[in-house]
Amino acid sequence: MAIGVFDSGVGGLSVHHRLVERFPKADFVYLADQANTPYGGRRGEEIVALTRAGCERLFAEGCDLVVLACNTASGIALRRLQQTWLPDYRRELGRPVNVLGIIVPTIEAATGLPWEHEAERRGDKVEKLDILGVFSTPATAASRVYEIEIDKRRQDVAVFSQPCPDLAGLIEEGSPRAALAEAVAGHVRALTTRIGRPPDRAILGCTHYEIVADLFRDALPPGTPLIHQPQATADALARYFERHPEFRQGEGGTRRFLTTGKAGVQSGLVEAFWGGPLSFTPA
């Protein structure tokens, strides 16, 4: 049995990388929906349908657990799939399967609080001391998931989301670094102008952006802490397996990489991030 990792494209590799380090003996199947990438400009219903199809594909590959290594899918589709599709689908399959997202672990890392924690609202005046910038796809930004969920837990944190419409697509295409650096700097400038000063901390709220995390570091004031989704997700998954031993990880240490798009070797940008050539096979 295996752990499935799903993204619209290569962004989820940043999460996969960390999961493999954390669970070296587990079997992994990575699925990139490159035929339909990017998700960030799509309508909600499309994102739900594509995410569901990706999960079905990974369950058919023998995965027990699918990690949505994609903020757009996690923020827009996950709750709906858990409520309206998974219960019947589990019965149909006759085995325990589940889908987990990456927004919950990221919010836990950003707030320093467990997901179950909700702040008491006392009606006192609140000083928003900590300005948290979230760079994400337009769909994630429009969902306001980070603003809503962080505000429920920490009223001293003010969240400002910056939609970056072009960025996941540029990364997916393996665009030259100069073009990527210009795009990243433009989004950091836009957020800084909107807030009136740079954020105190930032979330790279699209897994593709981890691939160019150094460009965000260069564009933000030196030393701005970044909350890393891959690490937060690996930590959360380890805790999940402790609570749910019924989900099997496999023990062959195999890694398979599938794509709905053009099979073969990925771009130089991905290769540099990955530390070597990476070839996808047809899904």
Task: Give the footprint of ligand DGL on this chain (CB under 6 A).
Answer: 7-9, 11, 37-40, 70-72, 137, 140, 168, 206-208
Task: Tell me if residue 164 is catalytic.
Answer: no
Nearer to ligand DGL, 15 or 248 (CB): 15
The minimum distance between CB 171 and ligand DGL, in angstroms, equals 9
Task: Tell me if residue 70 is catalytic.
Answer: yes
Nearer to ligand DGL, 175 or 207 (CB): 207
The minimum distance between CB 75 and ligand DGL, in angstroms, equals 8
Nearer to ligand DGL, 111 or 140 (CB): 140
Q: What's 203's DSSP letter?
A: E
Given CA atoms 259, 260, 261, 264 in this order, what sign does their dihedral have? positive
Q: How many CB atoms neighbour CB 121 within 10 A? A: 10
CA–CA gap between residue 170 and residue 183 (Å, rounded): 9
The minimum distance between CB 91 and ligand DGL, in angstroms, equals 30
Nearer to ligand DGL, 75 or 250 (CB): 75
Identified catalytic residue from 55, 63, 164, 206: 206
Identified catalytic residue from 55, 63, 70, 164: 70
Edge to edge, the sheet with strand 28-32 lists: 98-100, 63-68, 2-7, 28-32, 255-259, 279-282, 264-265
Q: What's 210's DSSP letter?
A: G
Which two structure tokens, joined as six digits, stand for 283? 């899904």
Is the Cβ–Cβ distance between 205 and 167 less than 8 Å? no
The minimum distance between CB 136 and ligand DGL, in angstroms, equals 6
Which two structure tokens, joined as six digits, stand for 63? 């995965």
Q: Residue of minimal CB distance from ligand DGL? A: 40
Catalytic center residues? 70, 206
